[in-house]
Amino acid sequence: MQIMFVAVIIIAFLAFVIYKINNRFATKELITLIAVIIVTILVVVSMMRNQEEKVPLLFKQKYEQERNVVIEKLSFERLNNRNVSSKTNFIYNFDYIIKKDGKEFLCKAKNIKIKKIEDEYVFENFHNLKENCIEK
């Protein structure tokens, strides 16, 4: 939210500067402003998407390293995003499909707690992970 607010202020300031320099706001200036708006929106959306998908990819890597089982497909739901917005504490539910001994299993892991310490993510309850797996 703060990023969008800052972006709107910067875009308004940029439009004001363009108007003051040229004393008009013609087609060329309008195209420039629209290009800046589009680039800003793309950058913000890209940053948010990368941040949102980072933790689930780390779960997938850790699961594959610890269990020596490949996760073929993964979906996730961030639980604490509904109540408390936190930049350091995350709680996720994961649904994933694994292939083990030539069979496919649908597994669910609930309430996985992840703590961010500077640039590192620590899985607090990964070793006592309670997962429910059923054969697909």
pLDDT in tens, 4-22: 677 778 877 877 777 777 7
- Output phi, psi for 41, to 5 deg: -65, -45
Distance CA 109, CA 113 (A): 11
Report residue 1 CA to chain centroid gap: 15
pLDDT value at 136 more than 70:
yes
- Find the mean pLDDT for residues 52-74: 88
pLDDT in tens, 64-116: 898 888 899 999 988 876 555 667 888 889 999 998 888 899 999 998 888 88
User: Which pLDDT belongs to residue 40?
Assistant: 80
Q: How far from 48 is each of 9, 51, 66, CA to CA, in Å?
A: 19, 5, 28
pLDDT value at 1 more than 60:
no
> Which one is predicted more confidently, 11 or 3?
11
- Find the mean pLDDT for residues 39-50: 81
Query: Contact, 15 vs 34, CB < 8 A?
Result: no
Distance CA 78, CA 119 (A): 19
